[in-house]
Structure 1
Amino acid sequence: MMSSLKMGALKETFYISHGSPTLSIDDSLPARPFLLSFREKVYPEKPNCILVISAHWETSEPAVNVINGPNETIHDFYGFPKPMYQLKYPAPGAPELAKKVKTLLEEAGFKRVHEDKKRGLDHGAWVPLMLMYPEADIPVCQLSVQTNMDANHHYKVGRALASLKKEGVLIIGSGSATHNLRTMQGTNDTVASWALEFDNWLKESLLTGRFDK
């Protein structure tokens, strides 16, 4: 019930670089112990629901997954170790949260917000969540991103949904500021100039309120 979400307002949102899908099984990756200790060291409050905006769900217009019952675990990666395809994260869907997300976006001026009643959680959602909340007992909803739109569009999406924190919803962005695995293969640890340039632009834009118009 959405009425129950009004208990326990949350103060923070988080952006998580989920890295390679092997984060789900590889203890050598630095992000893994960080996420495993998330509740203990970073954010002990337990959310009523979780909204994940994952870089691995791309649509031309905003869409939410409206799932009754457990979310399907989507193994949207190829050529990885077999055990990874056997992992499941059957967190319950959050259909009422999904409806609220749609309503808030429409009230903010987004003309079309679609409902997807079949799509589960992609690895940008379930891989970090299975480490952060391994019990899979918190309802989860996903919202898509629009790669055909600019940063201002997505900033306005975030601003429209900020009030959900007051209802105990943990909002998580999952992806990476830059992403090009092909160029990373066989290179050293030096940051690519284009990646550094974009990262600096993003930081400056957020700090100066570039999108807050």
Structure 2
Amino acid sequence: MILLTGFEPFGGETANSSWAAARSAARQLQAEGLDVRAVELPCVFGASAKALEEAMERSLPELVLCAGQAGGRSRISLERVAINCDDARIPDNAGNRPVDEPVVQDGPAAYFTSLPIKAALAALTAEQIPAEVSQSAGTYVCNHVFYALMHALRLLPGTRGGFVHIPFADTQVPVGSSAPSLPAQQMAAALAVVVRTTLGTTADLRLAAGATH
């Protein structure tokens, strides 16, 4: 079983590109004969992690790929690390606004993804999908879910998982706006590429994709 997740709209928006991409990617992969389930998570600290954990308990997945919307980014961002910190610049959908609070009390400072992000980067680039390895998933609900996922996976050594940020869909951006975006179909295809690459990769590529700042 493969579990894909995206988020409900937040911040006053009416859509969230991550959920649309997760649903569409699930359909693509199901058409290829894979057992895939897509779940929409609430954009709420605590509740999002609980919803993810409940979905994992029901599905018993071998792979969990969580996606989130990162307005302002122009590429598919393969997240490398989740940190144990909630620090919200804006309230979540329940009005929560934690500042400098741990995702998991007494948990480790950080977890690295268990996805082969370098191999995924190479596969996305080969498909001419703009992509990058990201060194920070932020400190909002996306990072909260990413950290909660990796914390849960420490007890499931046979299951791999990680997080991908995607830009706005082009349909979310007003005509004439300079905000970066990608076609919704391309972002769904990107999630499917990450899934296929992970299933077919046991050891990640050694490929330079770091950052200088």
Give me the TM-score of the superposition, normalised by structure 2: 0.50
Tell me which protein shows more strand as a share of its residues: 2
Whichever structure has more helix as a proportion of its residues is 1
Structure with higher Rg: it is: 1
Question: TM-score normalized by structure 1?
Answer: 0.50
